[in-house]
Amino acid sequence: MTAKITVENLYKVFGPHPEEGMQLIEQGLGKDEIFEKTGNTVGVQDASFSIEAGEIFVVMGLSGSGKSTIVRMLNRLIEATAGRVLIDDRDVNSMTRDELIDLRRRDMSMVFQSFALMPHKSVLDNAAFGLEVTGVEQAERESRALKALDQVGLKANAKSFPDELSGGMQQRVGLARALAVDPSIMLMDEAFSALDPLIRTEMQDELVALQREQRRTIVFISHDLDEAMRIGDRIAIMEGGTVVQVGTPEEIVAQPANDYVRSFFYGVDVTRVFNAADIADRRQVTVLERPGVSVRAALERLHANNRELGVVLDPDQHYLGTVTAETLAAQMQTESAPSYASAYVSDLNPLPAEMPLDEVVTRSSQTAYPLPVVDEHGHYLGSISRTAVLKTLDRSGDQ
Amino acid sequence: MATNIRDLIQIPIGDWVETGVDWIRTNLQGPLDGFADGVGFLADGLESLLLFLPDWVLGPLIIAFAWWRVGWRFGAFALLAMFLIAAMGLWRETMQTFALVIGASIIALAAGLPLGIAMARRDGVAMVIRPVLDFMQTMPPFVYLIPAAIFFGLGKVPGTIATVIFAMPPAVRLTNLGIRQVSQENVEAGLAFGCTTRQLLYKVQIPLAMPSIMAGINQTIMLALSMVVIASMIGAGGLGNTVLTGIQRLDVGLGFEGGLGVVFLAILLDRMTQSFGFRRRKD
């Protein structure tokens, strides 16, 4: 993975004399002091992160946390006061006007919270706007715009006008407008925030689906943690102009950097955030790697580790079954040659890694044994005990 | 004992203005004449065009236009208005006034719209222009007649020029306002997709400001109409003349007839120009 966008020590000071504000920041003064002394507002302070090609990177924070400012500094709708924004290793802030216009036309497009469609243009012409500005001739831009409308399911409405469409459909036009120029980067500023919850989820799923078809680098601004968790490959959390934490959704929920980050989880349903692989633990059970070992030796190992049960894997780490001290002992009693295979606990099917936690909860309530988790190739990832499930649920209950 | 401030200090603003006007008259007569010729050409041309067409051609044209743009009810009103104007024997005067209004409006818009755009794009320009507009709008319109008459004599040309000055401010103001009111996100959308400054203006700002700009154009035309009546005092002619004659002779009937002509013209112009303010679909 290579960094598509790199943000290095980015600052934005709004107000009458930004340089003055910058100097005070360098002297180590806080936001409030700077505002009191100079009337300058620090919008973004020392933001650094990098966004990899093809990922959905969500910048999350409450209003006023500087997230909209950051996204606008990526395409220089807002000029940074200090710091660098590198896109494909080119410094955006030092580009000439023509280079900047070229970058905006070719490499990045934007989707807006209030849709920002042109009311005097038809849906088709709106979708073709970016191409029109670039100077693509009419026949080609219309066919490309139509293709983009088709991707968002609005081909039939091409001749309508924006005010004839519902909010969700208008934002699809906004999305089509951004897709039509076929950019490598899409900036989405609270793109779904103005939509009602049902439509919002639908659009989120659609964005993820579009992303599966063709991977673009998406920078998504949101104030909604559920949304961030749903679509984000990684999330940056902003507070008062600073980036307080960057990580995958799981990392952020599991290890919130501070109380501010933690406060986002009020009301967040962790069962949708975590999947089976996230809470599977390899340490909970003894792993019996070679089925070739005798049943007696296996039983010895369980006793030695003071465990009741073990997981049997083949040399390639594929999950074969779960045995308990009890089933192994029972095998020792039988007349025929004792075997692992007959000692496996029955009805204990491994869970797929991506099974959401809410389903894991249901499954774990149906059995007394820890549930094994495997990846798509059948490799063993760990087991989930009932206690582990309860602990995870409990963590969300705390908040 | 009342001390008059004028006993201590005198600032003869009136004298200065007079001196200035004299200076312009002696030194800038050439350019002024050229300007007057241009304005005269436009005003005369329009008037001859409208008077060249007989009432039984132009009347139905106007009625058809009213019907097409606004609706059949308004078409019926236009029919009544045209009929009454012709029946009162004011056709010629009405068309003269109409020509003057159109001529003055064209000049006012040709100057006013670009000025409004410039104001919207640069705060500095706006800061300079705004007090000038305030001045133009609050100065009693009769005052414009004096320098207009001094520079350009009597007749249609000074009438048109005085009308232009009086009618221009709303076009400038509403163009400026309309462009400034285009939502920030629409402007950002334009820029984010790579508009140059010029593309932003023509593809985003002006189209989205259109309802406001059209309102400005409408206001300019209406103000032009009201000024044209006043401008008849310096010989601009038309319906204003009829009204003025009515006043001078205390002839209520004549005054009312002239006034009614102005009202008809105003309603026709207002509704027909307003009809362009609404977005036309699917064309």
Q: Which residue has the tokens 């609404």?
A: B278
Taking contacts as CB-CB distances below 8 angstroms, the residues of chain A near B182 are none
pLDDT tens for A142-175 read 999 999 999 888 999 999 999 999 988 999 999 9
One domain, residues A102 and A213 = yes
The boundaries of the domain holding residue A330 are: 277-398
CB A176 within 8 A of CB A154: yes
Query: What's the average model confidence in pLDDT over A202-226?
Result: 89
Render A105-141 in DSSP notation, one character per residue. HHTEEEE-TT----TTS-HHHHHTHHHHHHT--HHHH
pLDDT tens for A255-298 read 888 888 877 766 666 666 677 877 787 766 666 666 566 777 77
pTM metric for this prediction:
0.74
| From A102, A129, A161, residue closest to B193, measured CB to CB | A129
What was the pLDDT predicted at B55? Answer: 83
| From B185, B194, B195, residue closest to A112, measured CB to CB | B185
HEC states along B79-99? HHHHHHHHHCCCHHHHHHHHH
CB contact under 8 A, B188 and A112: yes
Reduced to 3 states (helix: H, G, I; strand: E, B; else coil), residue A385 is: coil
One domain, residues A90 and A198 = yes
B228 vs A48, which has greater pLDDT?
A48
- The span from the CA of A39 to the CA of B242, in Å, is 63
First to last CA, chain A: 35
- The span from the CA of A12 to the CA of A80, in Å, is 5
CB contact under 8 A, A119 and B208: yes
Hey, which residues does A372 pair with through a beta bridge?
Answer: A383
One domain, residues A202 and A98 = yes
Neighbours of A263 (CB within 10 A): 13
Q: What are phi and psi for residue A86, nearest 5 degrees?
A: -105, 125
Taking contacts as CB-CB distances below 8 angstroms, the residues of chain B near A144 are none
What was the pLDDT predicted at B69? Answer: 87
Which of A136-140, A385-389, B62-66 is predicted least confidently?
A: A385-389
One domain, residues A68 and A7 = yes
One domain, residues A259 and A319 = no
Nearest-CA distance B101 → chain A (Å): 30
How many domains in chain A? 2
pLDDT tens for B242-267 read 999 999 999 999 999 999 999 999 99
We report the CATH number of the domain holding residue A338 as 3.10.580.10
Q: What are phi and psi for residue A10, nearest 5 degrees?
A: -85, 135
Please name the helix (run of DSSP H) or strand (run of DSSP E) that holds residue B58, with its range, or none: helix B55-69
Query: What's the average model confidence in pLDDT over A51-75?
Result: 91
In this prediction the ipTM stands at: 0.75
Give the side-chain half-sphere CA count within 13 A for A165: 27
pLDDT at A359 over 90: no
Classify residue A251 as exposed, middle or buried by CB count within 10 Å of its CB (0-12, 13-18, 19+).
Answer: middle
Q: Indicate the Cα dihedral angle B9, B13, B19, B22, nearest 10°.
A: -160
- The span from the CA of B103 to the CA of B50, in Å, is 12
- The span from the CA of A339 to the CA of A288, in Å, is 13
CATH fold of B31-274 reads MetI-like fold (1.10.3720)
Nearest of A389, A394, A1, A6 to residue A233 by alpha carbon: A1
Classify residue A196 as exposed, middle or buried by CB count within 10 Å of its CB (0-12, 13-18, 19+).
Answer: exposed
Domain boundaries, chain B: 31-274
Q: How many helices (H) and strands (E) does chain A have?
A: 19, 16
Query: Is residue A117 a part of any domain in this protein?
Result: no
Query: Is residue A48 a part of any domain in this protein?
Result: yes
Taking contacts as CB-CB distances below 8 angstroms, the residues of chain B near A102 are 194
Six-digit token pair at A228?
A: 């961030």
